[in-house]
Structure 1
Amino acid sequence: MSPPIVKLFLSVDIIGSTEYKAKNTERNNDKNGEQSWLAFFETFYQDYPEKLNTALTKIGVSTLPQPWKSLGDEIIFQVEVNSHKDIADYLFAFMNASDSAEKYYASKELPIKVKMAAWLAGFPKINAIVNIKNQISEEPDSRFEDYLGPSMDTGFRLKQHATHTRMPISVEIAYVLSSETSFSKPELAKESYFELFFSGEKELKGVLKGIPYPLFYIRRNSEKESLLQKLTKTEKVDLVDVRKYCEHFISEVNDPLVLCKPYFMNDKDPDWQKMPAEHTRENSSSKSSEMNLHLDENENSKGDPDLTSEPIQNLIPSPETLE
């Protein structure tokens, strides 16, 4: 079995892109005849990762997130985290990169803003890393990595609750940020970025068998959001209460193969290395998560029976399940 790892997923999605494209549907006069809005989206896909990398480099983070998926106007990044202290650094840089991007769009008089979400996923006990043969690449051994499992399903549902001023985070991230030791740089703990808010519980379709999921979010700096929270008497939550709530919620789910307190095997703090007993032993639900899936029917017929016994259509969620 592969050693346990934790990955952080960061989703950034453009707000107002449909309206922007609708207002700019005239053709350019260049030889390619491309839509006039295309240049902006090409710039977004190139520039945003650079802004994120720059923000991380400024605070001394050398392991940079890699784009995993682009879904329409959205980019999802992934990065392996080795310590609970890493998460605050990545979120801090993520928020700064988004602020920087929006300032740039405003300077160009572009009516574009972004919304964000973040979640954690542990491998291989709860989720699976799937290596899929790339049928498009001309390289014979080209493969790409995909991620499946309960934490991924939760993340895709959770990001649907993102707004320009509210970044939803998974309960595992809320649990990590509730710890006093979660900030590698003490000054980050004072940032308003890490004031957590709670907007209640909501059932997320297909997640946790219908158990309502806690909607924690980090508020982005916004005068409108501040006024809205005053009107609704929304207070930032006390981190001690967040920790107690997260522990109770994870206990209520009562299934460490679906949700557990996050742990990091390379963390310098032994308290954050502790894994559930269910994760320390082999069982039928913990086959190696690094499966090699061939999308070629002829190759499948010769492949490992463990891989061919389950059709790939059953392993990869259909778009309908993520609506």
Structure 2
Amino acid sequence: MVEEQVPERLRGRLKLWKAVGDELLFVVDVDEESEVHDFVSAWVRAMDGYEAMLSTKNHEMMESGASSPPLNSMKTKGGAFVATFPEPDYEIVVAHSPSEATSDLDPILLNERLKEHPSPGNLQDFLGTSIDTGFRVSARASQRYFTLSLEVAWAFAQHLKTQTNEPVSNMVLLEEIALKGVWGGRAYPLFAIDRAATDSYNQAMQRMQNVPHLKAMDICNLAESCHSDKAWPSLIHFPASTFPAFTGNKDRLESAQTRISERTDRSAEGDELRELSTEAFSADEDVSNMRVQAPPADGSP
């Protein structure tokens, strides 16, 4: 259902990461902030559409007098976060082949080799502070509020800011909350898409409580202030963006990748030396055996 909601130019890029209990986790590579906006919007529309489909079918069954119980009226919830590689986050590959998994190669070298030569049986996973933060953010989601990491909210707002001066009508600052292990315990600004933003009752309550819609510029300013703090747990980088703040970490990320490449090069050289040493050791054993078996000097058998 998500693919149907995604613009045609972005279809086919969404991949299943893993299933955790009754949760399905998906990943997608994004190159600019507009893609973040489009994928998040498509995901929320798909969730709404799925719930509406179940509700319609249940209603039709009840009207028809069907004796069977109604379909599952399951409610959905979700969240989105951005991770940046290879720093502060890192992709790891769990080898399907036992021979690869038990290799004595440097783990970074083994992981890089597995990434370069993907196998259908291998498992993909991710580690890093953005990942940890993202799971904390997603855990705060509810059926009404689709939670967003600050980076997703920033990308969403930056895209809208370049399109219109109108307030962001369906995004809310849900709360400021200290998330375990995130930003040194400081209150994290938790944004969310309000899936019930167009509900007449909710709109009336907002007007009565004089709750203004968020301005895209304010969201962007808040995000920039967070990212100026050295203790902030995440980086942001969209290589195709024209917005300087979204490409400003390019040199840092390239440097991190260079360090990984240098380590893997040294590890590969070490691996080759170990193989040569093993071959030399085997050759010495063969020579020793030949000497033991050599005939006596007098030529007797």
Give your verdict on TM over 0.5: yes
Pairs within 5 Å for 1:157-168: 157-168=136-147
Structure 1: which 5+ residue stretches go unaligned? 1-50, 292-301, 303-323
Pairs within 5 Å for 1:226-305: 226=203, 229-230=206-207, 233-252=210-229, 254-255=230-231, 258-260=233-235, 262-267=236-241, 272-275=246-249, 278-282=252-256, 287=260
Structure 2 residue 7 is the aligned partner of structure 1 residue 54: no
Structure 2 residue 119 is the aligned partner of structure 1 residue 144: no
The answer to which structure has the higher strand fraction is: 1
Cα distance in 1, alignment partners of residues 254 and 135 from structure 2 = 28
Cα distance in 1, alignment partners of residues 15 and 89 from structure 2 = 19
2:192 corresponding residue in structure 1: 217
Q: CA RMSD in A?
A: 3.5
Cα distance in 2, alignment partners of residues 86 and 79 from structure 1 = 10
Structure 2 residue 6 is the aligned partner of structure 1 residue 64: no
Cα distance in 1, alignment partners of residues 172 and 42 from structure 2 = 20
TM-score (norm 1): 0.61
2:43 corresponding residue in structure 1: 94
Cα distance in 1, alignment partners of residues 167 and 19 from structure 2 = 30
2:137 alignment partner, SS class: helix
Cα distance in 2, alignment partners of residues 88 and 170 from structure 1 = 13
Q: Offset at 1:259?
A: 2.0
Q: 2:77 aligns with which of 104, 115, 131?
A: 115
TM-score (norm 2): 0.66
Pairs within 5 Å for 1:126-137: 126-134=88-96
Cα distance in 1, alignment partners of residues 208 and 79 from structure 2 = 25
Q: Offset at 1:203?
A: 0.7
Larger radius of gyration: 2
Cα distance in 2, alignment partners of residues 274 and 75 from structure 1 = 32
Pairs within 5 Å for 1:33-48: none
Cα distance in 2, alignment partners of residues 134 and 231 from structure 1 = 58
Cα distance in 1, alignment partners of residues 5 and 244 from structure 2 = 29
> Which stretch shows the higher mean deviation, 194-203 or 66-75?
194-203
Cα distance in 2, alignment partners of residues 56 and 215 from structure 1 = 25
Count of matched residue positions in the alignment of Structure 1 and Structure 2 = 231
The amino acid across from 1:108 in the alignment is: K
CA contact (8 A) 1:196 1:217 kept: yes
Structure 2: which 5+ residue stretches go unaligned? 59-71, 99-118, 265-270, 272-301
